[in-house]
Structure formats: structure tokens, C-alpha cells
Amino acid sequence: MKQRLKVALVSQRTAQWRMLLAQHKDLPIQLIFDDEENFAERARHCSVLWGDTPEGARWLPRLPNIQWYHTFFSGVDALLPLRAQLPKDLLVTNSRDIAGPHIAEYVLGQLLNLSRQIGHYQRLQQQCQWQWMDYRTVEEDRALVLGTGAIGQTVAQRLAPWVERVDGVSRSGRAVEGFGSVHQWHSIHPILDQYRIVVNTLPHTPETDGVLAASFFDALAADAIFINVGRGATVQDEALLSALDAEPERRAVLDVFRVEPLPQEHPYWQHKQVVVTPHVAAQSQPQWVLPIVLDNLRRYLDGASLRNLVDLELGY
């Protein structure tokens, strides 16, 4: 009888994963969950690891036999400092397919909330005040998406029916379906003020660390809405705060931060032009991630190419 593939699972949602995978008893695998007795010793004999990115980063250096790691998240930031410790032939895949639609939904929701004064009217309702305000319609606005990868493409596709135009920014400036045009990174500063909506989907890599600096934020339109659903470490916080203070009509919607949870003393919390959310633009709920995991499991067992392969040298 062929020996079943040994798979270790590490997650903040282990209980949910156990319940969900219990419905798939026919899988040719032996699952070992991180809340089980002697997990550390048993996991050392596994060749596959599934899990949240931070938990995976903690365990991978301790599990020498892992050949394939699938993260339930789209980002792999926590793995990057470990690259020298990991096998060169380690296969790493992520769950970015679910992130795109959820992030696009978040972007659109925040954009409509700000443009149509929805939050303001909720505050007026609490005060029993009948008071109307002028609003802007997003159909007159142009949007610029930083990053033209899978998530950036989905954001562009979902925004396109709502706004006048969606353009993108990438290193190469190569044309990508779904964008009106794609600009090279080094050429965007003179044209930034043409876009009221600027959405950051950039991953955190050595190349993008702090790339959104004063020269970028100061060049934004006076009424720009900057939405960060990429990574907080791509932003120089002081530069963003300074640009907001310089133009009272600018807004920032921030879902990701260099330090998470965001420290209570951070000025973002109290800034009237900033919306803070706790990294919820796209959650990795097990029922959404499972189809990607099962598809990749079939591919792995068949010796086929895996879906959503990550290049740790590039960071995405």
C-alpha cells in the first residue's frame, strides 16, 4: 500500500481547518495539526507544510524535510529574512487568487464611502441632524494602480466600470490587459496629479521598501485619495502625513502598516484625513483558501506545475 503524504498544518485558524478538512477523508494525505501532542517531532517527518505565513516562517527552519510550503496568505514577507536558511529547491506557493476580488471590493467600498460622504451622514444620523452636503461622483475620476500583478489587475478590472479610466504602474511599463496604459515607475511623478485615486498594491521587497516617499506623496493631486492595500513598509509614514497636512482635501485609506498592530500612539489613528482598518481588505478564511490548496495538492501528487508559485528572491 502506498504511503500517504505527510502534511503539517500551522495556523491561527487550526480548529477551522480541522473541521473543514474532516470533510475530505479521501485525501491521500496524513495531516498533522500544530495543536496536537508532539507536533514538533512528528512534523519533522513531513515533506509538505501548509499554513499562515507568519506561522510557516516560524516552523520552516525547524522542519528540514519540507519540499513544498503553501501559505494560506498572499504575502510572503515573513519568509524573506529566512531565504538563506531555506533549501534552494523549496517550492513555495500562495493563495493570492482569493485576495484580488476581496481587495478590489474593499477599494471600491472605501472609495464610494469617501466620495459620497457615507461616513459623514452616519455621524449626522447619530446627532439627529438633517443636513445635506455636496458630493463627487467617481465616474469623473481617473485611477492609478501601483503594481500590475494579479491583485493590481483585479483591482483595475473591478474599478474600470466605475471610473473614467484606470492606468497602472510597473517597473517595465509593459502593457497589461485591463489597464488603459501602464507607466514605468521612474516616469510617474510628473503625471501623478492627473489621478484622484491612487491604489498601492505593491508587495514588500528590498526594492520597494520605503519607495513611496516625499517626492511621490507631494506630487499627488490636491484632492487625491491614496489607498494602501499592498504593504505598509512600502510607505514612508512621515512623508504621507506631511503631504496630508499640506492639502486638507487629500485622504488616505490605510489597511496595512510597517508595524502591525498599529501602535496606539501612532498619528494615523487620530488624523482626520486618514481611515485606518486592521489589515482586513482580504482575509484568508479556510473555506475560501481550500479550493486552491486542494488544486495544488492534486498537482503536487501528479508531478505537475504548481499554481501561484512564489519566487522568494523577488519577494512575490
Write the pLDDT tens digit of every residue in 184-195. Answer: 999 999 999 999
In 3D, which of 197, 203, 24 has the Cα closest to residue 111? Answer: 197
Q: Which CATH number applies to 5-95+284-302?
A: 3.40.50.720
Where in the chain is CATH 3.40.50.720? 5-95+284-302, 98-276
Pick the CATH number of 98-276 from 3.50.50.60, 3.40.50.2020, 3.40.50.720, 1.20.1300.10: 3.40.50.720
Evaluate if residue 282 carries a pLDDT over 60.
yes
Q: What is the model's pTM? A: 0.92
How far apart, in whole angstroms, are the C-alpha atoms of residue 83 and residue 96? 20
Q: Are 197 and 138 a contacting pair, CB within 8 Å?
A: yes
How far apart, in whole angstroms, are the C-alpha atoms of residue 82 and residue 299? 26
Q: Cis link prior to 101 (omega < 30° from 0)?
A: no
**Type of residue at 307:** R
In 3D, which of 264, 228, 260 has the Cα closest to residue 244? Answer: 228
Q: Is 199 exposed, middle or buried (0-12, 13-18, 19+ CB in 10 A)?
A: buried
Between 1-10, 30-39, 205-214, the lowest mean confidence (pLDDT) is in 1-10
Q: Work out the percent of the chain whose per-residue pLDDT is above 70.
A: 99
How far apart, in whole angstroms, are the C-alpha atoms of residue 172 and residue 160? 22
Q: Are 46 and 63 a contacting pair, CB within 8 Å?
A: yes
Evaluate if residue 1 carries a pLDDT over 80.
no
The pLDDT of residue 2 is 62
Site of grid cell 447619530: 126
- Report the catalytic residues: 231, 279
How far apart, in whole angstroms, are the C-alpha atoms of residue 295 and residue 262? 35
What are the two backbone dihedrals, phi and then psi, of residue 56, each rounded to the nearest 5 degrees?
A: -60, -40
235 - beta bridge partners? 212
The pLDDT of residue 3 is 77
Mean per-residue pLDDT, 279-286: 95
